[in-house]
Amino acid sequence: MTDLLLLPGDGIGPEVIAEVRHVAERLTPDLKLAERDFGGVSYDRHGSPLTDDTLAAAKAARAVLMGAVGGPKWRDAPRHKRPEAGLLALREGMNVYANLRPAICFDALADASSLKRELVVGLDLMIVRELTGGIYFGKPRFIEDLPEGGRRAVDTQVYTTAEIERVARVAFELARGRRNKVTSAEKSNVMDSGLLWREVVTDLHAREFSDVELEHMLADNAAMQIVKNPKQFDVLVTDNLFGDILSDEAAQLTGGLGLLPSAALGVAGAPGLYEPIHGSAPDIAGQGLANPLAAILSFEMALRWSLGRPADADRVHAAVVRALRSGARTRDIGGTLSTREMGSAVLAEL
């Protein structure tokens, strides 16, 4: 059985995943790694961004670690064949409905944030984004020609009580192991799906999690509060689209996308999907400039949440912190190290 399936993907994906391989080979040589094509590279080679073979391998592994997908090369591919469609199909196929996106500010990088140092130093915010429902998957969706001229596009935002409840449960359980506070963000003032979201979270809280502090916040206000006073949040749970937007916003607070990992989890025991939250960065791909830390920290999350190796996860985390403290920096965080050199700086601290 494969322990960790690597999906390097496109752009800087292969470069950052190569550094994960080095870390895994050093720290956990007993883990069985495998690799498959995914994203644009898979479309080029096999005519589909997610082949049946890759999906089957992902479901059969204990954890899946993706690099990045997409790029200008595939902009004109049919929409359902685009790399991003492959990613959505992988999330749906693996049924990983709860996406954990931590925004952690490493002390050594507090000055790299676009906010004042005191607002972000010590920041440890966990966004829990619903990942397999909402407007990303809702039907109907189409663009149609109108008889009177012009066109009309429809996307559908749809949530069931079961979908809301299972992701909210993940948020409450996480909060219990942290600072015991959940903020739930929606637009219950204008959307029926937001109204249901608020009701279901409130009910679940009353039934099972009344020991956890719960706060409801409209998603637009949440966007503002994240830049006003990010440390007021502990766990922030929200839907697929708001979570996409708010997690990019939160990431920027920490000094850059190059550092942030994510974990997408499904039912207990099923494999998790781990990805750095940065994209494929086609502008710097293949040049050895990418920061491998987000991918390495995604490996840390895989060790913790899917592979049952919290001590090894702690080792990876500590090595990254020490490498940053020693001044190791790739270009995105104000340094000159290459991807390989940054990976080596982490290895040296392991």
Q: Using the rule CB under 6 A, is 249 a contact of ligand IPM?
A: no
Q: Using the rule CB under 6 A, is 84 a contact of ligand IPM?
A: yes
Closest-CA residue to 66 (of 13, 19, 7): 7
144 burial via Cβ count (<10 Å: 0-12, 13-18, 19+): exposed
Least spacing, CB of residue 155 vs Mg ion, in Å: 16
- Known catalytic residue at 244: yes
Which C-beta is closer to Mg ion: that of 74 or that of 136?
136
Query: What is the identity of the amino acid at 331?
Result: R
Which C-beta is closer to Mg ion: that of 155 or that of 165?
155
Least spacing, CB of residue 211 vs ligand IPM, in Å: 31
- Known catalytic residue at 139: no
Assigned token pair, 109: 């990088």
Contact (Cβ atoms closer than 8 angstroms) between residue 299 and residue 316: yes
Which C-beta is closer to ligand IPM: that of 265 or that of 324?
265
* Secondary structure (DSSP) of 221-239: HHHHHHHH-GGG-SEEEE-
- Known catalytic residue at 136: yes
Which C-beta is closer to ligand IPM: that of 2 or that of 54?
54
The residue count for binding ligand IPM (CB under 6 A) is 4
Least spacing, CB of residue 136 vs ligand IPM, in Å: 7
* Secondary structure (DSSP) of 30-73: TS-EEE---THHHHHHHSSSS-HHHHHHHHHSSEEEEEE---GG
Assigned token pair, 43: 């479309």
Q: Are strands 263-265 and 272-274 parallel, antiparallel or unpaired?
A: antiparallel
Q: Using the rule CB under 6 A, is 103 a contact of ligand IPM?
A: no
- Known catalytic residue at 187: yes
Backbone angles phi, psi at 98, to 5 degrees: -115, 115
Instruction: Return the residue nearest Mg ion (CB atom).
Output: 244
Q: Using the rule CB under 6 A, is 64 a contact of ligand IPM?
A: no
Q: Are strands 181-186 and 213-218 parallel, antiparallel or unpaired?
A: parallel
Q: Using the rule CB under 6 A, is 265 a contact of ligand IPM?
A: no
* Secondary structure (DSSP) of 62-117: SEEEEEE---GGGTTS-GGGSHHHHHHHHHHHHT--EEEEEEE--GGGGGGSSS-H
The single residue among 3, 244, 300, 332 that binds ligand IPM, judged by CB under 6 A, is: 244
Residue of 244, 274, 312, 332 with catalytic role: 244
Q: Using the rule CB under 6 A, is 295 a contact of ligand IPM?
A: no
Q: Using the rule CB under 5 A, is 244 a contact of Mg ion?
A: yes
Q: Using the rule CB under 5 A, is 130 a contact of Mg ion?
A: no
Least spacing, CB of residue 245 vs Mg ion, in Å: 8
Q: Using the rule CB under 6 A, is 10 a contact of ligand IPM?
A: no
Q: Using the rule CB under 6 A, is 239 a contact of ligand IPM?
A: no
d(CA 276, CA 346): 17
- Known catalytic residue at 312: no
Assigned token pair, 187: 């637009």
Which C-beta is closer to ligand IPM: that of 65 or that of 324?
65
Which C-beta is closer to Mg ion: that of 15 or that of 244?
244
Residues that bind Mg ion (CB under 5 A): 244
Residues that bind ligand IPM (CB under 6 A): 70, 84, 87, 244
Q: Catalytic amino acids?
A: 136, 187, 220, 244, 248
